[in-house]
Amino acid sequence: MSKLVLLRHGESVWNLKNIFTGWVDVPLSQNGIKEAEAAGKQIADIAFDVVFSSMQIRAMETAMIALVQSHSQKTPVVLHDDSEMKDKTGIYSEETLANILPIYHNWHLNERYYGELQGRNKAQVMEEFGDEQVHIWRRSYDVPPPNGESLKDTSERTIPFFVESVMPLLTEGKNVLVSAHGNSLRSIVMLIENLSKDQVLELEIPTGTPLLYEWADNKLHKRALA
C-alpha cells in the first residue's frame, strides 16, 4: 500500500510572534527546526518516492530537515521548473540520478493569502476590527480577509493540484510527502476525509506533526504513526 504524509511546516518566526504570515517568506524558529527534526524521525522508515512542497521557505526547510532524518539512502534534491535553473542543475551521473529523492515546489500548495493582514500582529488586528470580525476572516469558509483569500479560494487551487499531481502517484504505488501549510493542508484533508464546510473549520493541523494516510481499496485511509 502506498503512503501519503501531509506535514505542516514547523513553527515559523512569525508564528512565534503572532503575526499574520500568508505568502510572506519567513524562516522556521528554533522550535520549528526541532519540530521538523522530530517529524522526520516519526516518518524515517517511510521510503518516499516523491516530495511536494509549497514555494515558501518554511515548508521547504521543514521538508529538507525532516528528510535528513530518513533511513533511506536517497538524497533529497529540489528539481527546478525555471529554465535557467533547470539547465544549470543537471546531474550527470546515472548512479547518482537513480538515488535522488525528487522534491517539487509548487505555488498551488502555498499558504492561504492573507492580503492586507500580512505582517500585522493578530492581537492588534483584533483590537482594531474586533474579535468577531477577525474570527470570521480566519475561520469562515468563504469570507476572505481584505484583498486576501478565503479557505474556499485556497481549496480551489490546492484540491485540483492534489487530484492531478499527487493522487496518480499514490495509485501507482508511490509514497508521497507533501510539506505545506495549515490552510492548504486543511483543504486537502477536507477532500480526503470528506469533511463538510463546518467540519473543516474546526480542523486544527499542528505545526510539525505528520498526518499519515494509506492508499487501499481505491481510497485514502488515515493511519496512526507508530
Return binding residues for substrate.
8-15, 21-22, 58, 111-114, 122, 138-139, 182-183
> In the annotation, is 95 catalytic?
no
Which of 9, 105, 108, 181 does the annotation list as catalytic?
9
> In the annotation, is 111 catalytic?
yes
**Residue at 215: amino acid letter:** W
Which of 35, 61, 111, 149 does the annotation list as catalytic?
111
Q: Which residue has the cell 469562515?
A: 140
Q: Give the annotated binding-site residues.
A: 8-15, 21-22, 58, 111-114, 122, 138-139, 182-183
Report the catalytic residues: 9, 111
